[in-house]
Structures are given as C-alpha cells and as structure tokens.
Structure 1
Amino acid sequence: MGVFTFTDVYTSTIPPKKIALIVDSHNLIPKLMPQSIKSINIVQGNGGAGSIKQINFIEGSQLSSMKNRVDELNKETFTYKYTMINLMDKFESIACEVKFEPTPDGASKNKMTNTYYTKGNVELKEKDIKAGKERALGMYKVAEAYLLQNPNAYA
C-alpha cells in the first residue's frame, strides 16, 4: 500500500462561519450540483463525528455511489475531517481534512489536505490527483457562489 499526501490552500471572500456550511452539505450540495450528485444520505449517525454519508451520483458517472465517514466536525475551529471509503479499485481510502481560517479582512483562508491510501502497488498519476482537486475545489466554488448570491443563507 502506498500513502500520498497533498495540501492545497485557497482563499474565499466568505467568512469561515458561513463557508463551513459543510455541516449541511448533505442537504445543500445535491440541490446545487444536480448535474452530478443525485443525493447524499446519512446512513449512520446524526451527521457528526462517526456518521457515514452515502453520496449517490447520477446515472452514467464513474461511480454510482461512495461513502464518507465523518471523523471530526468542529464548529468552533471550522475543521472538518472525513474519510472516503468504499472507493474504486485503486484506493483503500482517502482521508480529507478541511480547515477554514479567518483572515484580517473578514474572509477566509481554506486549507485542504488529502491523504490517499492506495491498494497494492498502485501509483498515483498526476492527472488523477489534479482531477480530484478540481472536483473538490469545484464543489467549494459552487457553495461559495451560492453564499454570495444568498447572503442571508447560513448566517
């Protein structure tokens, strides 16, 4: 098994308190991204640490579904850790940590760290990593756009 870790940092004009709407992502993301996500269901727990969420993709996607285990959800430090489980043949799991930090101007600096645990001798290709980063960032950008268009949401 191989272990590969990558960290990305990006900024947002949205303050951490609002961008941390990740706690309600199971309700919001399918509404914002119906072209790719059919639904997100909590199949175990109440949405907090220890919960398991199943993401169901639209027909014709590379995966029909995948599960995320919530490892930590800290609303005070705006930290969200989760592990993607039951993935494709290449991965045992992918551990993700998202941290939203306030900036002096009221915006946020967002740090995403992903650790890939591959099966066997699987080597990660640059294009696979890039595609995963683009999907994750795309989801955050869709949420950010929603918050900019709906300033009273998640206030």
Structure 2
Amino acid sequence: MGIFAYDFETTSVITPDRLFKAYAIDGDNLMPKVAPLAVESSKIIEGNGGPGTIKMITFSKGSRFKYVKNRIDEIDNANFTYGYSLIESAAFTGTLEKITYEFKLVASPEGGSILKSICEYHTKGDQEIKEEKIKSSKAKAARLFKAVEAYLLANPNVYN
C-alpha cells in the first residue's frame, strides 16, 4: 500500500469557533445549502455523531459519483480539530483503500482563522495518485471552504 499526501492551508476572516461549528459539527446540514450543485444530502447512517460514526453523502444529479461514505475518526471541539476517512466510493475502482482528511482551525493574528489540512490517499498495492488528481482535490477543498465562509459572512448570526 502506498500513501500519497498533500497539505492545504488557507485563511478566513471568520473565527475558528464559528467555522468549526459550521464546517465540522453542522456540515451535514450546511453542505447542501452552500454547495447545492454538488451535494444533495448528507446523513448519519450509523453512530451518534462522534468518532466511529458513518455518514453517507449523496451527490446531486449529474455528479460523477452517486455517493460516498465517510467515517468520523476524531472530533476535538476545544482544539477545533476534525478527522474523517472516506471509506466507500465508486471512485475507488480498485485503486484506493481509503482517503483520510484531518483539519485544524487556529486563530490568525488578524482575528480570523487559518485552516490547516492534511489529506492522505491510501492506495492498494503499488497504485499511484497522479499530480492532476491532487491539484483537483485541493481546488475542490478550497472552493468548498470558501463557500462555507461566504455563507457565514452572509449570515452573521448563525453558528455563534
């Protein structure tokens, strides 16, 4: 098995606590609102919302894949860290075992947040992940993060 990783870092004017509540804690409800062309729904299919919980994200019609299943690996409300693994997807097609994501929000000196994220592709056998796939994943992550930020800016009284 191989592991192909990338780091992603971006900033926001939103405070870490608000971003964490929106992005990690209430992401199931928020994602269909901020990315309706991509995410149709997200629901818990096993567990209570804590580590070990399995979520199924159904993508909107016209998406390349119908759904994915994620497992929550870590939630730390005090330190604004969240980790999950994508454990089932049609995208795997014999190439991937799983994809893990970890992110941490920290306060920036300007009063907003810094998102620090690590993504690891765990491949089967000697499969490799192409650089184009990593670039595409980074771009999607940035768009989703900025969509959440835009929603919070437009709705200053939510997730306080």
What TM-score, normalized by structure 2, do the two folds share? 0.93
Question: 1:19 — aligned with what?
Answer: 19
Question: 2:106 — aligned with what?
Answer: 101
Q: After TM superposition, where is structure 1 displaced by more than 3 Å over at least 4 residues in a row?
A: none
AA matched with 1:153: V
**1:53, 1:123 → 2: CA distance?**
27
* Number of positions where the alignment pairs a residue of Structure 1 with one of Structure 2: 155
Question: 2:79 — aligned with what?
Answer: 77
**1:38, 1:103 → 2: CA distance?**
33
How many Å apart are 1:123 and its aligned residue?
A: 1.2
- Map 1:59-138 → 2, pairs under 5 A: 59-87=61-89, 88-89=92-93, 90-138=95-143
Gaps of 5+ in 1: none
Aligned-pair identity in percent equals 42
SS in 2 for 1:86: strand
Question: 1:58 — aligned with what?
Answer: 60
SS in 1 for 2:26: helix
SS in 1 for 2:69: strand
Provide the alpha-carbon RMSD of the alignment: 1.1
Gaps of 5+ in 2: none
Q: Deviations over 1:27-81 (max 9, x none)?
A: 1111221111110011011222111110001223221100110011111100000
What TM-score, normalized by structure 1, do the two folds share? 0.95
Question: 1:3 — aligned with what?
Answer: 3
AA matched with 1:138: R
How many Å apart are 1:104 and its aligned residue?
A: 2.5
**2:57, 2:139 → 1: CA distance?**
18
